[in-house]
A and B are shown apart, each in its own frame.
Chain A
């Protein structure tokens, strides 16, 4: 399938250039002194633009000639084994390359407006560049080790970007949480890697293709799936993503919607051949649970970004579900479409937040700029934003003629095909799979109704007539591009047929005909739209205190559960180990290893320093032992003699008897 063609040198160098330019952007941003931080904005924008052009041209070329290639060079080698750095371009890569570079470039562009005036703008752009580099590396990597390297680096840049406003305690906490959750997944990923290594002896994806099926594969792939769970925020590690919304909104768009979180799905698709049916079942179940939880939670959120975050979660769950049902192509398709419309939604939300923030700045009034309860009727104030947001929202909710409809369709198709005709537990998953688009519709339009329709609550809060400013051009521009990308033609020329040109690159054997599911799903979402209109159109959001809504609001109290089952025990454990260290290990060693007395005297010697408890008790015991050995040398000579003679007697008895 993969043909190495020497002639394709051009694509190779283009790809490598596309990969390295963001890195150069990062390095430049690090080197350029603080005074010239404005230079950074320009350089990184330019570099990213070039990178994007290159990536797109590579993709287009390869899409045309199907000349997949890979190059590799030895990174380091142990005596017999070599670890390589290599890139491999195949259909998945080709799909992902433009997505990452385009979204990244747009986010860069957007950020020049959004982040204007931020004091750490240099650092911000540096990390954006670094992230793009890592993400591209992740896509291009031809072996699992390298993939893991970039996988981690992506996590690191995410950490840095979430924590960008480190003055905010919440941002710090969120970034830490994100990294640690990722790390938990990564540990699993690493175990999976190692199992593969130990059994197959290679990391190279190509050579892994030729490995026969072994019993270890289920374990290995499940471990790899742990990495996915962490990175793509699947159940049970999903709560970091909503928290990660503390980062700047463009970052959320880039990392936590379009690219990084999707990397998990990408990985699944890429390693799909390794997964055994048993593992896939787990994958499907996890995906379903995630999607359900997230979409239910999204229904009651009030923070605009959080709603989007939960929506991302549910979409990711949906994709994972797709992979689990044996259709990585569908998942990739959804990933592709999702990247654009979700980025568009986030950037749109960012635009709203930006303008509200400006407003807040002007009026010197404080209110929560991200709370949808403070918004309303923005349709008139921010028309461009409204339209783009609407288009992207429609794509998200899967209305026909939008890209989301097609990709969702593909997934639903594969789910039904997978479930088969016989009734089994798999039908629960099918039902859920159909419930999810419905829910998606509900929360999407709930959001849209609240934000853009109805009366303008912001004015009510501020209490005066204010002038809303539409966001600057550099910010509007990406919105428009992204919303255009959310239309159907990006997937397929036929708005009802997902087997478009994109799907071809992914799958060798396209299926034919408009399936029943397509029709059903179209009707289904329209029904949902109607429901949402009647249910949410004019309803104000009162903070509901009902148990159910609280449950959903806190996304089933997963965080609380973690606290109870992980954080608290770990804290207890650390306290315990500390105590063990001071009291037992030290105490034990104080008491016995140095044969009691020694340390008794150390301690009596230093006792004024050792105030910590525990040790003292030991010391006293040991000290008394010491004084016993001494006491019979008190000063009574006749007693001495007695002891000496007694010693002789003991020797005599012990030897004679």
Chain B
């Protein structure tokens, strides 16, 4: 049982989706309970995993089975595995995914249009997200990574807002472009890496752990770290890193590959926005930490300033755009761009603090953005109108809602006591320290990043001022009677998130216990491998 928990986690929603397939579409209520039930079962598994997990950087709950083994004749054997496991990097994200999926499912209660398809897609998406977090085989990861796209495409495209087709296509194409770049690197990697455990014929493996160890590279293969291949004047490994960076960066999203995000968010239904912001974006950061940095350490060190620069640009640019947004959801979407910039900045610093901060920020942003999109959804459910300028003085009309909004906004702008603060502080610690510890990031970059804090405060407070302060009035075709305060079902989804962000803001240690060993390990690996590879190249 212990050993199959991860598979159970992945396959529970798939099983539920399969069951749902055979239930006639007329029974609408059944699908909701089925999906919610599956999520609850997952939650039980998650609790079992959390209790069984021992802190440390090592992999746990590993399952490894042969998946594809193909003899390729003269150039060896191709080997892909069903290889999943948990460590400090993906455990928090999995632990984030399950509750968020539950909340998203609960928030889908009001969906009316083709319920069956909706919940089936949601369940498939659920499995794919968890799968891509726990997969340790590149091919398996890629499979889940791509497999997320299709349900998402339809969830946005069918259940979305008026411009949903445009948004869904844009989302799909962007992400596909990114995944093609990843695919290119993946192909290069597995051709260059052999499995050291299999004697005899060269075994090309997709195992990510093998990929991150320089001794497993076939000598003189295209990505062999000991042999500098060049295309034109570019080092191939640096190029591969850049491809991965862009590929995952699109998902993250980073400027200038972010424009799919606002559109997708604005058009997606609330639960889908929640999933998109809270979970899908994390896969970009996860991929960078899981693949790009360990596998190409010297390229990563070489390009870190660039990663950091893009991060800072994302922070500032996202914030400025958020300020210009007239649509509440769009604003939150841009704030996501801004916040995910911190993830990049933290990763780029390659310090324990920075990487921990980036990972913490991913979890924290997962919670907070879910909260924010649910908040936007509350308003949209009531009035079908998200334009900021159409509201004024809501605070007096919906005081409890205002309270939750305040918490959400201030959590997002990094007020101490909320999880975002811890994450941002750690990122800054890393970013400032980087200059003196490993000399990767100039201090000026970190200084500029603090501008993001000011801008963050500015756009949120401005929004509060416009929407909630002042005398009550609404424009557009809504009436005041449409605006009751929060109802019980909304509390059910909102409160856990509020409590979570408070908890992780006040008492971060439990989460850090998971995160930190991996961050430490990653930094050590990247720095030591990067230096080793760099020195062999110089000789």
Chain A residues with a Cβ under 8 A of chain B: 74-81, 145, 148-150, 152-153, 156, 159, 163, 166-169, 171-173, 175-176, 179-180, 183-184, 186-188, 190-191, 194-195, 197-199, 570, 573-575, 577-578, 581, 585-586, 588-589, 593-594, 598, 602, 606, 609-610
Contacts and interface: CB of A to CB of B under 8 A. Distances in A.
A171 to B, nearest CB: 7
A10 B435 CA distance: 45
A602 B458 CA distance: 36
Given A79-B516, A180-B454, A609 B396 contact: no
| Interface range, B side | 35 or more
Interface in B430-487: 431-433, 435-436, 443, 446-447, 450-451, 453-454, 457-458, 461-462, 464-465, 468-472
A223 to B, nearest CB: 9
Nearest to B394: A166
Contacts of A589: 174, 256-257, 259
Contacts of A199: 436
Interface in B6-34: none
Contacts of B257: 589
Given A156-B410, A187-B450, A194-B428, A581 B468 contact: no
B356 interface: yes
B512 A609 contact: no
B256 A570 contact: no
A574 B324 contact: yes
B417 interface: yes
A474 to B, nearest CB: 27
Contacts of B162: 609
Given A76-B512, A149-B416, A570-B458, 8 more contacts: A76-B508, A79-B517, A166-B393, A180-B458, A195-B432, A198-B435, A585-B255, A585-B258
B408 to A, nearest CB: 14
Contacts of A163: 469
A76 B425 contact: no
Contacts of B468: 166, 172
Q: With a 10 A CB-CB cut-off, give which of B258, B325, B464, B519 has the most chain A CB atoms.
A: B464
B342 interface: no
B353 A81 contact: yes
B469 A581 contact: no
B281 interface: no
Contacts of A606: 163, 165-166, 169
A198 B451 contact: no
A78 B353 contact: yes
The 4 closest A-B pairs by CB, nearest first: A172-B469, A194-B432, A149-B416, A578-B324
A169 B469 contact: yes
A188 B417 CA distance: 20
Interface string B409-430: 0100001110001100110110
Interface string B118-146: 00000000000000000000000000000
Chain B facing A: main interface SS: helix
A168 B425 CA distance: 35
Contacts of A180: 454, 457-458, 461
For A75, A190, A609, which residue has the most chain B Cβ atoms within 10 angstroms?
A190
A179 B464 CA distance: 12
A172 B443 CA distance: 36
A589 B170 CA distance: 10
A171 B469 CA distance: 8
Nearest to B414: A152
Contacts of B170: 602
A187 B256 CA distance: 26
B352 to A, nearest CB: 5
A167 B472 CA distance: 8
A589 B410 CA distance: 34
A577 B259 contact: no
A171 B453 CA distance: 23
Contacts of B395: 166
Interface centre among A179, A581, A593, by most chain B C-beta atoms within 10 angstroms, is A581
B252 interface: no
Contact of A187 (B321, B432, B454, B519): B454
B509 interface: yes
Contact of B256 (A148, A168, A194, A585): A585
B317 interface: yes
B320 interface: yes
B399 to A, nearest CB: 8
B173 A79 contact: no
Contact of B470 (A77, A149, A172): A172
Given A76-B512, A79-B352, A169-B470, A602 B453 contact: no
B520 interface: yes
B184 to A, nearest CB: 15
12 contacts: A75-B508, A149-B416, A166-B468, A172-B470, A179-B457, A191-B447, A198-B433, A577-B324, A578-B320, A594-B173, A598-B173, A602-B166
Contacts of A575: 324
A167 B417 contact: no
B469 A191 contact: no
Given A195-B432, A574-B324, A578-B324, A176 B465 contact: yes
Contacts of A577: 317, 320-321, 324
B440 to A, nearest CB: 13
A389 to B, nearest CB: 32
Contacts of B410: 156
B293 to A, nearest CB: 17
B165 A176 contact: no
B453 A183 contact: yes
B323 interface: yes
B286 to A, nearest CB: 20
Interface in B76-117: none
B48 interface: no
B325 to A, nearest CB: 8
Contacts of B517: 79
Nearest to B353: A78
Interface in B243-285: 255-259, 262
B177 A586 contact: no
Contacts of A198: 432-433, 435-436, 443
B465 A173 contact: yes
A486 to B, nearest CB: 34
Nearest to A149: B416
Contacts of B451: 187
B469 A76 contact: no
A151 to B, nearest CB: 8
Contacts of B464: 172, 176
Q: Which of A163, A168, A194, A573 has the most CB of B within 10 A?
A: A194
Contacts of A183: 453-454, 457-458
A585 B432 contact: no
A81 B425 CA distance: 14
Nearest to A156: B415
B417 A153 contact: yes
Contacts of A76: 422, 507-509, 512
Given A172-B469, A191-B447, A606-B165, A78 B433 contact: no
Contact of B465 (A167, A172, A581, A586): A172
Interface string B304-337: 0000000000000100110111000000000000
Contacts of B450: 187-188, 190-191
B173 A197 contact: no
Nearest to B456: A183
A140 to B, nearest CB: 15
B453 A186 contact: yes
A199 B323 CA distance: 35
Nearest to B511: A76
Nearest to A573: B320
Contacts of B507: 76
B478 to A, nearest CB: 20
Contacts of A145: 425
Contacts of B320: 570, 573-574, 577-578
Contacts of B472: 167
A78 B317 contact: no
